[in-house]
Structure 1
Amino acid sequence: MKFQVWKFPVLCLLFCYWSSTSTVTGFTTDQLKRITDYVKETYGIKKQYAYVITFDKTECEQLTDQNIKDALKNDKANDVRNKVLSHTSEIYEGSRMVMASYKELGNNQREHSEHRLLYPAPDSTVSPVENLLNKAPTECAIFFTLNSPCQAYCTKPNGPYEIVSKLDQFSKINNRAFVYDQVYNDKICFAKCMESVDKKMPVYRCDKTCFECFTNGKFNLVCLNSSYQTYQIESSQTEKNNF
């Protein structure tokens, strides 16, 4: 009889544990590596570009090479390249992906690729990202940019061209990641700027491998330079604002 008294609570605890471990908790670095490698190999864009890809619940549970390929089956390589690499640098808007390069505006001015995806075009009230997210239920999404966002404009707080606040477009998606490959500008305030992005979407660097850039308030300096070690932003005495 004593066994029967405590058996039910134990079984309940075990059930709750099994249930909690089966839920989707976020991208793994292996999954992000597979996604970014697939796009790099399939679409072959060499200049600075950015993209957003959405996945449904079933795809997000595993994100194998095959279901990444299946998710992007309608986003044909030639269609994407013809838009992004056209002389007018058009934005590709597909069923599961949007992609853009930078756009030359003249007088040494460029509209950055991240900005083009997150802001509405002059003739629209909805950004390409919003339009993509409205097309179908999204369980997980990745925002990738080849070079990290610039500190002079993209991550500058309250700047006219900042993108950080616009990442709120992903706020209803629990499983999301902001990924970059190379560091655009090696300034001392890089970590602080990327911290503002991480507060909106977890930041990763995917080059030869993928690294999570922030863990428990600490910035992993492999996301800036692989020769450094992890340090605590709050206690750094050398962090300065160089805007």
Structure 2
Amino acid sequence: MKFTVFLSGLLLLFLLPDWTESVDTVEINTLARIINFFEQNYKRVDTDGHPRQYATAINVPKDQCQQNFIPTQNTFLTQENAANVKNAIADETNALYQGADLIAAGTRKVVISKKKQYNMHSESLLLNPADNSPMSKLLNKRKDGCSVFYTFESPCVDTCLNPSSSHNIINALKKWKEHDGIKAFVFKDFWKFDTEKDLQTAFKQIVDHVPLFRCVSENQCYACKGEGDTAIDALCLP
């Protein structure tokens, strides 16, 4: 009997590393390649080549977010036509694309009067209303898939991450947290009006619900951390 218990203990020791590796988390090098795929195929730019704010989100089989997956035109988001995506998000009267496995948005011009108008941000276009948004519909298509939300510039403090704003994305992040499978919220640059603001506190509102990453190139992403009492990593701050 003692020998049997000892053997079981040995088996547990050998099986434990495999169990640990099976936890559903995005592989960071694969994430960098996915974000680069977005930038290469869907990036919103002016006619002079100046980049403009846009956001995309995917819900794909989880193996496409794990180690060694290389996204290409033949292996990744094959039902989405890049030209259709770019044309849709460039149209500021709608600025929204909803496909099979991908959604995307630019900024939508909302005219209140001849003297008053504003741009609805791409994050809000994709994530609101929280219970019936393009994102919620995308997540419903694959209950345990890998869901990645990418925004070119970080969500703005005064609107997207402001709980008192009618366009905030916090309730949508709470809903996304309930989704099974791999999750990653990613940004590249900082919203230009926020570089002097308290992004440590603001970004914590994202990390409370989904893991936050900053991807700066096809080869480099950073896990922003910030869970619990830990701080947002300096690489994810201005």
TM over 0.5, shorter chain: yes
In the superposition, relative to structure 1, how do residues 45 and 8 fare at CA in structure 2: closer, same or farther (>3 Å)?
A: same
Inter-partner Cα distance in structure 2 for 1:69 and 1:115: 31
Asked whether the equivalents of residues 71 and 96 of structure 1 are also in contact (C-alpha less than 8 Å), the reply is no
1:150 paired with 2:128, answer no
For residues 141 and 68 of structure 1, what CA distance do their matches in structure 2 show? 19
| 1:224 aligns to 2:237 (yes or no) | yes
Q: How does 1:30-45 map to 2 (within 5 A)?
A: 30-45=29-44
1:191 corresponds to which of 195, 200, 216 = 200
Q: Which residue of 2 aligns with 1:50?
A: 55
Q: Shift of the alpha carbon at 1:193?
A: 0.4
Instruction: Tell whether the 8 Å contact from 2:56 to 2:105 is kept in structure 1 after alignment.
Output: yes
Amino acid at match of 1:110: N
C-alpha displacement of 1:30 = 1.1
Q: Give a deviation string over 1:81-133, Cα, whole Å, max 9, x none.
A: 12111252331101110000111113241111100111149xxx721011111
User: Compared with structure 1, are the counterparts of its residues 66 and 224 closer, same or farther at alpha carbon in structure 2 (3 Å cutoff)?
Assistant: closer
Q: Distance in 1 between the 2:5 and 2:198 partners? A: 59
- For 1:77-88, list aligned pairs within 5 A: 77-88=82-93
Q: C-alpha root-mean-square deviation of aligned residues, in Å?
A: 2.4
Given that 2:30 and 2:66 are in contact with CA atoms closer than 8 Å, whether structure 1 keeps it comes out as no
SS at match of 2:141: coil
Relative to the length of structure 1, the TM-score reads 0.81
Deviations 1:53-106 (A, max 9, x none): 112133333362247852300011112112111252331101110000111113
Q: Secondary structure at the match of 2:22?
A: coil
Partner in structure 1 of residue 7 of structure 2? 7
- CA shift for structure 1 position 136: 2.6
The one-letter amino acid of 2:233's match is: N
The 5 Å alignment of 1:197-208 reads 197-208=206-217
Q: Helix, strand or coil: the match of 2:84?
A: helix
Please say which of residues 156-165 and 145-154 is displaced more in the overlay. Answer: 156-165
**CA–CA distance in 1 between the matches of 2:5 and 2:225?**
45
Instruction: Give, in whole Å, the separation in 1 of the partners of 2:5 and 2:57.
Output: 53
Q: How does 1:1-243 map to 2 (within 5 A)?
A: 6-15=6-15, 17-46=16-45, 47-62=52-67, 64-66=69-71, 70-106=75-111, 107-120=116-129, 126-171=132-177, 172-184=179-191, 185-208=194-217, 209-215=220-226, 217-225=230-238
Q: Distance in 2 between matches of 1:189 and 1:87?
A: 30
Instruction: Give the whole-Å Cα distance in 1 for the aligned partners of 2:160 and 2:92.
Output: 24
Name the % identity: 27
Unaligned runs of 5+ in 2: 46-51
Q: For the residues of structure 2 that align with 1:26 and 1:14, how far apart are their CA atoms?
A: 22
- Any conservation in 1 of the 2:62–2:144 contact (CA below 8 Å)? yes
* Runs of 4+ more than 6 Å apart: none
1:133-160: CA deviation from partner (whole Å, max 9, x where unpaired): 1123332111111110111111012322
Q: Once structures 1 and 2 are overlaid, which stretch shifts more, 144-153 or 159-168? A: 159-168
Aligned residues: 221
- The alignment's TM-score, normalised by the length of structure 2, stands at 0.83
The offset of 1:181, in angstroms, is 0.7
